[in-house]
Amino acid sequence: MAQTPLALFDTDSLLDEEERAIRDTVRQFVDAKIKPELADWYEAGRIPARDLARELGALGVLGMHLDGYGCAGTTATAYGLACLELEAGDSGLRSLVSVQGSLAMFALWKHGSEEQKQEWLPRMATGEAIGCFGLTEPDFGSNPAGMRTRARRDGDDWVLDGTKMWITNGSVADVAVVWAQTDDGVRGFVVPTGTPGFSAPEIKHKMSLRASVTSELVLDGVRLPDSARLPEARGLSGPLSCLTEARFGIIFGALGAARDCLETTLAYAAEREIFDKPLAAFQLTQAKLADMTLELGKGMLLALHLGRLKDAGRLRPEQVSLGKLNNVREAIAIARECRTILGAAGITLEYPLMRHANNLESVLTYEGTSEVHQLVIGQALTGQGAFR
Amino acid sequence: MNIVVCVKYVPDATADRKFEDDNTVDRVGVDGLLSELDEYAVEQALQIKDKQADDTEVTVLSVGPENATDAVRKALQMGADKGVHVVDDAIAGSDALATSLVLAEAIKKIPHDLVVCGMASTDGGMGVVPAMLSERLGVPGVTLGSEISVEGETVKIRRDGDASTDTIEGSLPLVLSVTDQSGEARYPSFKGIMAAKKKPVETWSLSDLGVDAGSVGAGAAWSVVESTDARPPRTAGEIVTDEDGSGAKALVDFLASKKFI
């Protein structure tokens, strides 16, 4: 009797009834509503982001692990499991949810004023309003402290000038959380995207995350009242706290892409015959399948452990780095290895392998590159910062 | 208004389904779930509740083994208000007559204006329980609705048949069954999933219902499954060769004979 890779580890036994129900709901949604469309979205480089946001909002996915303001208030582990199922569809779908819930909504929830929360969070939870998060700049990725975007006081107002780059959801967003240098260090601003001087041209010609909206944010004399400033965020720790949230979701999410690749490959290898027997009956294929299953299961155990730590309020940023570094690195290795088993079929959109592998190229470097996570771990081990 | 939705816990149709030694379906050793056809019944009950915008309450009722609570719980996650699970070892192996007896006696103990059922179970597939329930409860049976509306005390359905489309209406109280064309069942929202944990589920036995154990179960069944055989592998099918221009007609005749068109 053939078992699925994660059934072999019996990781379901580590989940409670509510977590399984949330996981099953997202899986059914992705299987029924998302997977049939993905190849076309990917080929066209377009997604119906507004419709998706509303459907995800109706399920309760958006900002699901936040409390109040219309958010579901689930555990962090349940949020991770939802990310896994979304990314089993496509990393672009999970990115939409990560940026909405863990970057834009979390920034407002954690650092915003009561008025800002009341204005935006309920609408973002339902998907009526889409958010984006502007930290990275064309010349500043892993070193955000050098950002050139500036907010200067002008009477009671603030005026923002600068450019943000690689911003998921940018062109479809109703609100952007933008981080800028001020005389008082880095501060965050809540920018309605209709504000004069704000524009968000979409980045085209991508080979990765094609089922995701990626944009540039241009701030040209964007004038905002002081009430647009996030009052509780001061310095880079503000945006970095949001990144830790989003990275946590990726620890689970990347495994979703890997699981989809591995399950696809298992099914293919069982059917595809070569030299008069199934590909799955060859030792070299089985060695690959066994090694990939081991990495997927180990990654899942790590993710669930980190999820429990987060739910206990004990998860530290360097532990998030352990998870993100390992699980994305292993996921992309699994996607590529699976492709070797499908041969030429694996390069088409008929199967999800190349799509996942290409997506994971982005996931490998966004939300902290693998190298940055190695340095975070290295610093935790040695006490020596080696970032610069 | 008080609505009771009858739901069945069935073996997962995507997994291997097996029979026990007594030729009843193995409902313990396999993964089970809320019958997909009953999800449509839950959906319609919830839509009626949403439109009533009053204190309408939806009670979900299931007769089934211990794990049938999962089916009740799923309906509560979708938005039903409370659950009743009738479980009793003596019920195992019951036929549709006995099942409808247990359901009817349970429904009598629950305040109800409207009883909603799916069109059939996805395992047994007989589709007779709704009609039996209306008979046992002595109320109208408005069955196989693909479009449902409730105005005051009147329930109106559209029933799509092969040869005609009928509009049927009845007055409350009544039993309603709905088809898989009645409207896509909602996914449970995360808030619904979390709220379901706190919703009450009562567990009743046959003695709670005053039903004699001898009148249900395999021993009381009016029909017996004597043997089962696995479905034979798919055959190659029929190839229509078009040599004289009659191919299209042959295809159409075939599809019509199978009632596809």
Q: Where are the domains of chain B?
A: 2-220
Out of A18, A25, A64, closest to residue B187 by CB? A25
Q: Over 60: is that where the pLDDT of A331 sits?
A: yes
Strands (E), A143-280: 150-154, 157-168, 175-182, 185-192, 198-199, 214-225, 273-274, 277-278
**H or E element in which residue A93 lies:** helix A91-97
Q: What tens digit of pLDDT does each residue of A124-136 get?
A: 999 999 999 999 9
- Computed over every residue of chain A, the mean pLDDT equals 97
| B73: chain A residues, CB-CB within 8 Å | 17, 21
**How far A125 CA lies from chain B's nearest CA (Å)?**
12
Following CA atoms A257, A261, A266, A269 in sequence, which dihedral angle do they give, to the nearest 10 degrees? 180
CB contact under 8 A, B189 and A58: yes
Provide Rg for chain A, Cα atoms.
21
**Range A262-285 average pLDDT:** 97
What is the tens place of the pLDDT at every residue in A13-38?
Answer: 999 999 999 999 999 999 999 999 99
Q: Would the CB atoms of A28 and B190 count as touching at under 8 Å? A: no
Cβ pairs A/B, distance under 8 A:
37
Q: Please answer yes or no on whether B193 and A22 come within 8 Å at the CB atom.
A: yes
Q: Which 78-137 residues of chain A touch chain B by CB within 8 A?
A: 78
Q: Which of B190, B197, B198 to mutate to test the interface with A (most CBs of A within 10 A)?
A: B190
Closest CA to A4 of A380, A382, A293: A293
**Measured distance CA(A163)–CA(A97) in Å, rounded:** 23
Q: Which residue of A has its CA nearest to B184?
A: A32
Q: Percentage of chain A surpassing pLDDT 90?
A: 99
Contact B188 A78 (CB under 8 A): no
Closest-CA residue to A263 (of A19, A39, A3): A3
Distance CA A254, CA A257 (A): 5
- DSSP H stretches of helix in chain B: 36-52, 69-78, 96-108, 129-137, 190-196, 206-209, 247-257
| Dihedral sign (CA A315, A317, A320, A326) | negative
Mark yes or no for CB contact A22/B189 under 8 Å. Answer: no
Say yes or no for a CB contact (<8 Å) between A21 and B77: yes
pLDDT tens sequence across A207-227: 999 999 999 999 999 999 999
Report chain A residues whose CB lies below 8 A from the CB of B197: 17-18
Which pLDDT score, from 0 to 100, does residue B45 have? 97
Cβ pair A60:B197 closer than 8 A? no
pLDDT at res. A170? 97
pLDDT band per the 50, 70, 90 thresholds, residue A309: very high
Hey, are the CB atoms on A28 and B197 less than 8 Å from each other?
A: no
Q: Which segments in chain B show pLDDT lower than 50?
A: none
Query: Searching chain B, which residue's CA lies closest to the CA of residue A22?
Result: B190
State whether A73 and B189 contact (CB < 8 Å).
no
A145 touches chain B (CB under 8 A): no
Q: Residue B190: which of A17, A22, A28 has the nearest Cβ?
A: A22
Min Cα separation B73/chain A (Å): 10
Contacts A267 to B, Cβ<8 Å: none
Q: Tell me: pLDDT of A104 over 80.
A: yes
Per the CB < 8 Å rule, is B197 touching A61? no
Q: What does the pLDDT read at residue A357? A: 98
pLDDT for A174 beyond 60: yes
What mean pLDDT do residues A180-199 have? 97
Give A85's pLDDT tier (boundaries 50, 70, 90).
very high
Task: Mark out the alpha helices in A214-272 (DSSP H runs).
Answer: 237-271
Residue of B nearest to A61 (CA): B190
CB–CB of B149/B47 below 8 Å?
Answer: no
Q: Give the chain B residue nearest A70 (alpha carbons).
A: B191
Q: Shortest Cα distance from B77 to chain A (angstroms)?
A: 9
Beta strands in chain A (DSSP E): 131-134, 150-154, 157-168, 175-182, 185-192, 198-199, 214-225, 273-274, 277-278
Task: Give the distance from residue A212's alpha carbon to the nearest chain B alpha carbon, in angstroms.
Answer: 24
Find the CB nearest B197 among A18, A59, A72: A18
What per-residue confidence (pLDDT) applies to A99? Answer: 97
Determine whether A216 is an active site residue: no
Query: Which residue from B minimizes the CA distance to A64?
Result: B190
CA A94/CA A212 separation, integer angstroms: 9
Which residue of chain B is at minimal alpha-carbon distance from A72?
A: B191
DSSP H stretches of helix in A275-316? 283-311
Considering only CB atoms, which chain B residues are within 8 Å of A58? 187, 189
**Who among A18, A29, A58 is closest to B194 (CB)?**
A18
pLDDT at residue A1 above 70? no
- Which is the catalytic residue, given A119, A128, A367, A371? A367
Considering CB atoms only, which of A59, A64, A73 is closest to B187?
Answer: A59
Which of A28, A72, A78 shows the shortest C-beta gap to B187?
A28
Q: Which of A23, A24, A65, A77 to mutate to test the interface with B (most CBs of B within 10 A)?
A: A24
Task: Output the pLDDT for position B230.
Answer: 81
How many CB atoms are located within 10 Å of the residue B13 CB?
11
Domains of chain A, each with CATH number or no CATH: 6-126 (1.10.540.10), 131-228 (2.40.110.10), 237-382 (1.20.140.10)
| Helices A317-342 and A283-311, axial angle in degrees (round to 10) | 160
Nearest to B194 among A29, A61, A74 (CB): A74
Looking at residues A42-60, what average pLDDT do you find?
Answer: 97
Sign of CA dihedral A341, A344, A347, A352: negative
CA distance A19 to A74: 9
Share of chain A above pLDDT 70, in %: 100
Q: How many CB atoms lie within 10 A of CB A151?
A: 27
A246-263 mean pLDDT: 97
| Residue B76: strand pairing partners | none
Residue B189: list chain A partners with CB under 8 A.
Answer: 58-60, 72
Out of 3.40.50.620, 3.40.50.1820, 3.30.1280.10, 3.60.20.10, select the CATH number for domain B2-220: 3.40.50.620
Dihedral in degrees, nearest 10, Cα atoms A344, A346, A348, A353: -160
